[in-house]
Amino acid sequence: MSALRLGDEAPNFTAQTTEGEINFHDWLGDSWGVLFSHPADYTPVCTTELGTVAKYTDAFNARNVKVAALSVDGLESHHGWIKDINETQETTVNFPIIADEDRKVSELYDMIHPNADSQLTVRSVFVIGPDKKIKLTITYPASTGRNFDELIRVIDSLQLTAYHKVATPANWNQGDDCVVVPSVATEEIPNLFPKGHKVIKPYLRTTPQPNLN
Q: Name the residues annotated as catalytic.
A: 46
Q: Identify the sign of the CA torsion 148, 153, 156, 157.
A: negative
Q: What is the DSSP letter of 186?
A: G
| CA separation for the pair 70, 45 (Å, rounded) | 14
CA distance 180 to 200: 11
- Distance of alpha carbon 173 from alpha carbon 94, whole angstroms: 27
CA distance 67 to 59: 11
Q: What angle is formed at CA 137 by the lines to CA 12 and CA 2, rounded to 5 degrees? A: 60
Distance CA 95, CA 64 (A): 14
Helix (H) or strand (E) run with residue 153 in it: helix 148-163
